[in-house]
Every structure is written in C-alpha cells, then in structure tokens.
A and B are shown apart, each in its own frame.
Chain A
Amino acid sequence: MPFPPSSLKPQRPGRPGRPRKFSPFVVDKDNVYETVVEELKCVVFKTDTEGRWLFLSRAWTDITGYSVAQSTGQMLTKFLYPEDRDRVMDLFKPLIERSKEECRHEVRYMTRRGGFRWLECHARLALDEDGQPDGIIGTLTDITDRKLVELQNRNLILAQECTADGIALLNELGEYTYLNQAHVKMFGYESAADLLGKTWREIYHPDEIARIEEKVFAALTANGSWTGSATAKRLDGSTFPEELSLTLLPNGGLVCICRDATEKVASARALHASEARWQVAVESVRDGVWDVDLTTGAVYLSQGWKGLLGLSDDQLTTTWAELSTLMHPDDVKDAPETDDPHCVLKTGNYDAEHRMRTADGTYRWLLVRGKALFDETGKPVRMLGTAADTSDRRQVHQQLLANLAREKELSEMRSQFVSMASHELRTPLAALTLTLEFLASYSTRIDANALEKGLTSANDSARRLSSIVDDLLLLDRVNQGQLNCAAVPVNLADQIAMLASDPYFTDAQRKRFTITCNPPSLQARLDPQLLRYMLLNLLSNACKYSADDAPVILRVSQASGAVVFEVEDSGIGISEADQARIYSLFFRGGNVGARPGTGLGLMVVKRCVEAHCGTITFRSSAGQGTSFTITIPS
C-alpha cells in the first residue's frame, strides 16, 4: 500500500536525541504517520528515479550509523556492500521496467564503522500523480542475526557432510529426514534422496530389525540413548558390521550416528588370532615361560613347567616366594634374592642357571632367562622370560669335566710311569754294565773269588732286567686284552720253593720270608708264569712297603674247592682314601714316598687272578700293615 506523497517529503523527523512522546489523544493524521514511521525498527525509504535517497526514516541511522541528513541525496548504491552493488541494480530492474509490482531481496549495507549489516529490502515502484514512476519506496529490515545463524547452520551441515561417520535424523515414525553424504555412501546409495522419507528398516535385514526393535529400542526408551553394534545392509543386500549410536529426541525423533566397523572387526580378529598363536606357541614349547607381576608378586607359569618340574595345574599360578622355595639351597646364593625380585632388575636382565626341585623330589638344571618391563617412571612392574631344562647338557658337561680331569691325571701318571720305568730299567742295567766294565778293566788285578762274585752279580742284574722286561710285556698283553691263562697241574709246594729262591729278591729280603703250604702236597691247575708273577709282586710289595727287617708271611692253603694265597706284612699300609684305587693303572699310594714302583703291579696281579676266574681282596690300615688274599677255584 503506497504511502501518501506528503509523507515522502524529506523532512527532519522530531528533535534528535530525545524520543518523541506519542499521545493517543492527539489526532493529527500526518503526525500520526510520521510518528509511526519514526518509531519503526525497520527503515522506511524512498528514492528518486536515479536511485538517490529521497527519504530515510530514523532507523537508518540506528542500523548503519550514517545520519539521515548526510545520506539523503546520496546514491543508494554508495551505501551498498561493494560485492552486492551490481546484484542490487539487477534486483531493482524488474520494478523499474515495470515488469514486477514489488521485489524482495537480502543485501548487505555498509555501516559507518566499516562493517556491514544484512538488510532485507521490500520495495515497490513509486508513481506520481500522472501515474509515472518517480522512484522506489520500501522498507529495509535488519536481518543480520538471522543471517549469522543461517551461516552457522550451513557450516554445521557442511561439517556433517564432511565427517566419515554417517549422520541421520529420523522423525517419530522412524523415517529419515536428514542423511549426510557419509551415511548415504556407507549404505551403497547414490544420494540422500534415495532414503529420505523411508524408514530405517530399509537398511537392515529382518532378523536384525527384530533384534533392534526388541533389544535396542527397549534400552533407548529406558536410557534415552544407546550405543552398540549392529549388522547393517547395503543397497545391494550385502551386510557389514556397524557401530551405532542412537539418541532419542524430545519430539520422538532420533539422531543416528553410525560407522562402518569392517576394518576394526578385521583388525580385532587379527589381534585375537595373533594372541591365540602366541598362546599356542607358549603352551606348546617344551621350555617354560614365566611372567611375574612385580606389583603383586603373582607368577604365571606356562604349561611347559609341567614337563620341567612336574607342577600341577593349580601350581601354575603361584607366587615368586613360593617358586623360590623350589630352588636348590646351594644355588640360592647365585640366584636373585628370593624375597626381592627387584634386585634382579637393576640391569633389567636376568640370566642364571640353577637347580630346581621337581615334583618327585629330584633336582633339574634350568637355564632361566628374563627381562623386566618398566613403567614410565622407570620402576620395574613386570618380569617375564623362559626356563629351559639343561640337565642333560649339564650332565654331559660334568662328564666331560670328569673325563678331562681323569685324562689329566692319567697323563701325569704315564709321565711318572715313564720316569719310574726308566729308573727300574736303568738300575739293573747300570749294575750290569758297571760289573762287566769292572771285570774287564781290573781282570789282571782281581782274584778268582772277586771274579766269581762279579759274574754272579752280572747274571743277577741281567735276570732282573729280563724280569722287568717280562713285566712290561705282560702289561702290554693286559693292555691289549690278550692275557690268556695256560693252566696246567702244578705242585704248589714246588712252585713256592722256586719263588723263595727267585733272583728277583735280595738275600736280605729272603731272610724275612715265612712261607707255609698246607697241606704240603697241595695241587692246583694254574698258569705257573702268572702265579709266579702274582706272588712275586705281592711279596715284593710286602718287602718294599715295610721295614727292612720286618717279616713277610706267605700262606698257601686249601678252602672249599679253592686254593687260597695270603701275603701279609706289617708295613705302611694303604690309607682308606687310596683303597678304592689301588688296582687302577699307574696308581700309587700317597704314602709310598721314594720307594720305587711303576703303579702297574697290583693292576696286573688282579688281571692274572681274574684270568684264573679267582678273586683278590685285601685288609689294610695305614701304619698297621696289609694282607692280600687271592682265592683261585681249583
């Protein structure tokens, strides 16, 4: 409705700075209009046909900051936001061309302070009395606040469109009223329009719909929201795991946020599979795996410990302190302090080999290795590692060490033997050569007695040499395992008589012998050479290891189906520590001093006895003398 022309005259409205009092009792038509216009929140304006402001109501100043007086007569476009100027001229065009009665548009006007305000313009063409256009009249309403909210909403929607999560709004009927692009694509649709107006049941299979209606809606109604997972259906009918968050709106509608959980489920499955593999590996290895929670002292042991220590299932969960009680007492000092596993952790590593008691009470060697895990403050919180049974390896190792020690001992004994054998051979050899050289050198100066004595000495020395060589050869046969017993019937009294006069012994030694044979006619099947060797050795030892004038007794007697030889002395004896080893190769008692000997005799004697299927025993104590008994079945 056009304003009366008079009201469009540019005139200063009222007194500035002071609101005009409106009195309902004053009925002045012009004044009433003017007052109304000036009190309006919106700007009432009129332009001329060129577009100059002819009239602006007071709200203009309130909105833009420009005074009405300054603005009147100025071009309208001058006040427009530069980017909007051309657009406004286009907007007014239909009016000026009279193709439209009125127009409405939203444009930005600049403010005096350098900003702008969004103004909604309602305008129509003003006509003069002749009906010719003489300008434009209309109103400008400040819509800046509404515009900002709109902008904010647009940003919000933009954000919703950009997120990877699917976002949808549903009305109280369960129909989609909004879906973001992610939601649309997630379900295999082209555009939101494909789902708008349709219900959520469109994107689930019947089974899942039933579950959602029964379980999910119950929770939703009770709590106002629900978060969980579902199996969703794409447009092509395929399904995928979905994480779903639903919030009930006051109007009965729903906000739905969903996410495709395919990858998450896959990685969770992969993690589960990897953990399962680890578990299988831990449980199937023969080694034990241990895991200590240092904050509680609780220990977890893998199934492998059943094999290692024979632990039962309920013992596989134990404490550090309990586990420590299984350790061998001798090894505890090498192990970490039983009541404080933390001491292990100074270096962060644990590496030790010790014995642990098994269920049957025996001990096994375990190689225990571990590593500590620390929290962010550097405090050890967990320790885990493995334990491997090294008993077999350890045993082999111990055996090797024992063998090595034995080899070393044997080697020293051999070296001593060579030295002894050398002495044993060189002494009669020296006696022989010295005698022969003496006889040759002094033949013209010695008498017949001396000559005979010399020849006897040479003969004795040669026989002694021969007997030593026999011993060595016999030893060689023993070593080769070729000691054969050539048993023949022998008269023992004769054999003993021969022995007593054997040149092996000196006259002084012979004087010490007390020899008996009971009964004197005793016969036996024996190898005479081996018998001579056995008795010679025992008698010689008895002489050697007792005082020079001490008696040496040989008794030959008969027992049930056997012949018994006893050789007794009152010499240095054999210490208890040495008794177990006297038949060992090259072994000589610790108390023999410088008495010559090869450490062979008793070993060879024993072999000779065994060759006769007999036995040899002895009674002895250090300092008290020794008595050997040989029993040979007849």
Chain B
Amino acid sequence: MPSPDLSRTILIVEDNNIIRDQIVAILEMSGYTAMAAANGSDGLRLACQSRPALIISDVMMPELNGLDMLRDIRQNPELDHTPIVLLSGLIATEDIRKGLELGASDYLIKPFRITDLLQVVSRHLQFSH
C-alpha cells in the first residue's frame, strides 16, 4: 500500500456525516488524499499523527469544537503552519472574526458550492508549498 502524498493530504473534521462523506468523495475525485474525523478531539489526534497539508474543519461540533481545535493546533509547533479552513453555518461576522483571530486561514459558509471548496483547497495548498 503506497504511503499517502502528504503534500496533498487533507483532513476533514465535520460532525455531519453526509457533508463529511461528500467532501471526502469530492476531494478524492479531484486527486487529493482525504482523511476525516467527526469531532474536534479526533481531528486534533489525527492531525498530530498524519500532519496533513490542509485542515478543513466545521466550527460547531461535539467534544472539542472547531475553534478550540484551531487554538490547540496553533499552539502546537509542529502543526502551527498548517493552513486551516473553517466551515460553518454561522454567518455572524463576530464568529468569523474570532476564527480569523485564532489563526484560521480561510472560511467557507454553508451551503457552499464544490467549486468554492476546490478553489479554497487549491489556493492554500499552493501557499503552503
């Protein structure tokens, strides 16, 4: 089994199983390697293990929420450069501002189109390499 190309590995953290599965499917169709977690705690553990090139995370999740996971990742010296895209139904500017302050690289507001997702992914993977 070939080891995944880490420069194209993307971690998806999302509690809604449909959205999570669809994003994984879309990214794999586009040639990326995708891995998924259903909450912040699992997401953080997976990030530490796999060092993905990009993390896409929902904000409101059980266990550890997206913002808390973001904070933990930014405090981890091995992960602090990993771009993180927040995914949220929260449209309040206050929440977006809070996410960006904590170190989010970008955000997508639900519902979003496939092209929006792929553009964001492509943009941040380019920057990180």
Please give the residue numbers on chain A whose beta carbons come within 8 Å of chain B beta carbons, in ascending order.
Answer: 419, 422-435, 437-438, 441-442, 445, 450, 453-454, 457, 460-461, 506, 544, 548, 593-596
Q: Return A609 CB to nearest CB of chain B, in Å.
A: 27
| Contact between chains at B61 and A442 (CB < 8 Å) | no
Instruction: Write out, one digit per residue, whether chain B residues 81-99 have a CB within 8 A of any chain A CB (1) or not (0).
Output: 0000000111110010000
CB contacts (< 8 Å) of B65 on chain A: these are 593-594
CB contacts (< 8 Å) of B68 on chain A: these are 594
A433 to B25, CA, bound (A): 14
Q: Return B14 CB to nearest CB of chain A, in Å.
A: 9
| Contact between chains at A450 and B19 (CB < 8 Å) | no
Which of A430, A445, A453, A594 is within 8 Å of B60, CB to CB?
A594
| Contact between chains at A431 and B18 (CB < 8 Å) | yes
| Contact between chains at B114 and A438 (CB < 8 Å) | yes
A445 to B39, CA, bound (A): 30
| Contact between chains at B22 and A544 (CB < 8 Å) | no
| Nearest opposing residue in chain A for B39, CB measure | A548
| Contact between chains at B61 and A431 (CB < 8 Å) | no
| Contact between chains at A426 and B111 (CB < 8 Å) | yes
Q: Return B57 CB to nearest CB of chain A, in Å.
A: 12
Say if the beta carbon of B129 comes within 8 Å of chain A: no
A454 to B111, CA, bound (A): 17
CB contacts (< 8 Å) of B109 on chain A: these are 426
Known A-B contacts A419-B90, A425-B89, A445-B29; the reply to A437 vs B113 at CB < 8 A is: yes
| Contact between chains at A430 and B62 (CB < 8 Å) | no
Say if the beta carbon of B54 comes within 8 Å of chain A: no
CB contacts (< 8 Å) of A454 on chain B: these are 22
| Contact between chains at B29 and A427 (CB < 8 Å) | no
| Contact between chains at B91 and A460 (CB < 8 Å) | no
Q: Return B87 CB to nearest CB of chain A, in Å.
A: 8
Say if the beta carbon of B26 comes within 8 Å of chain A: yes
Known A-B contacts A425-B89, A441-B114, A445-B29; the reply to A434 vs B61 at CB < 8 A is: no
Which of B17, B38, B62, B67 is within 8 Å of A544, CB to CB?
B62
| Contact between chains at A431 and B22 (CB < 8 Å) | yes
A427 to B91, CA, bound (A): 12
| Contact between chains at A422 and B114 (CB < 8 Å) | no
| Contact between chains at B18 and A460 (CB < 8 Å) | yes
A506 to B38, CA, bound (A): 12
Known: A430-B19, A433-B111, A548-B38. 6 other contacts (CB 8 A): A419-B90, A419-B92, A457-B18, A461-B18, A593-B62, A594-B61
Say if the beta carbon of B21 comes within 8 Å of chain A: yes
The size of the chain B interface, using a CB distance under 8 A, is: 33
A-B contact pairs, 22 of them (CB 8 A): A419-B95, A422-B91, A423-B60, A424-B89, A427-B19, A429-B111, A430-B19, A430-B111, A430-B112, A431-B16, A431-B22, A435-B22, A438-B25, A441-B114, A442-B26, A445-B29, A453-B21, A454-B22, A457-B21, A548-B62, A595-B60, A596-B60
Say if the beta carbon of B59 comes within 8 Å of chain A: yes
CB contacts (< 8 Å) of A450 on chain B: these are 25
A139 to B66, CA, bound (A): 146
Known A-B contacts A431-B16, A594-B61, A596-B60; the reply to A438 vs B22 at CB < 8 A is: yes
CB contacts (< 8 Å) of A548 on chain B: these are 38-39, 62-63
Say if the beta carbon of B23 comes within 8 Å of chain A: yes
CB contacts (< 8 Å) of B112 on chain A: these are 430, 434
CB contacts (< 8 Å) of B18 on chain A: these are 428, 431, 434-435, 457, 460-461
Which of A423, A457, A460, A461 is within 8 Å of B88, CB to CB?
A423
Known A-B contacts A434-B23, A457-B22, A461-B18; the reply to A426 vs B89 at CB < 8 A is: yes
Q: Return B41 CB to nearest CB of chain A, in Å.
A: 10
CB contacts (< 8 Å) of B45 on chain A: these are none
CB contacts (< 8 Å) of A594 on chain B: these are 59-62, 65-68
| Contact between chains at B29 and A442 (CB < 8 Å) | yes
A438 to B25, CA, bound (A): 9
| Contact between chains at B89 and A434 (CB < 8 Å) | no
A506 to B114, CA, bound (A): 24
| Nearest opposing residue in chain B for A442, CB measure | B29
| Contact between chains at A429 and B17 (CB < 8 Å) | no
A431 to B58, CA, bound (A): 13
Q: Return B89 CB to nearest CB of chain A, in Å.
A: 3
* Interface hub of B18, B38, B92 (most chain A Cβ within 10 A): B18
| Contact between chains at A438 and B26 (CB < 8 Å) | yes
| Nearest opposing residue in chain A for B95, CB measure | A419
User: Across chains A and B, which 4 residue pairs bring their CB atoms closest together, nearest first?
Assistant: A426-B89, A594-B65, A430-B110, A423-B89
CB contacts (< 8 Å) of A595 on chain B: these are 60, 62
A429 to B91, CA, bound (A): 14
Q: Return A531 CB to nearest CB of chain B, in Å.
A: 27
* Interface hub of B38, B66, B89, B109 (most chain A Cβ within 10 A): B89
Q: Return A223 CB to nearest CB of chain B, in Å.
A: 100
| Nearest opposing residue in chain B for A545, CB measure | B62
A434 to B29, CA, bound (A): 14
CB contacts (< 8 Å) of B29 on chain A: these are 442, 445
Q: Return B58 CB to nearest CB of chain A, in Å.
A: 8
Q: Return A113 CB to nearest CB of chain B, in Å.
A: 118
A445 to B113, CA, bound (A): 19
| Nearest opposing residue in chain A for B18, CB measure | A431
CB contacts (< 8 Å) of A431 on chain B: these are 16, 18-19, 22
| Nearest opposing residue in chain A for B59, CB measure | A594
A445 to B62, CA, bound (A): 34
| Contact between chains at B23 and A430 (CB < 8 Å) | no
CB contacts (< 8 Å) of A442 on chain B: these are 25-26, 29
Q: Return A49 CB to nearest CB of chain B, in Å.
A: 142
Q: Return A506 CB to nearest CB of chain B, in Å.
A: 6
CB contacts (< 8 Å) of B113 on chain A: these are 433, 437
| Contact between chains at B19 and A437 (CB < 8 Å) | no
Q: Return B61 CB to nearest CB of chain A, in Å.
A: 6
A453 to B61, CA, bound (A): 24
A454 to B67, CA, bound (A): 29
Q: Return A111 CB to nearest CB of chain B, in Å.
A: 120
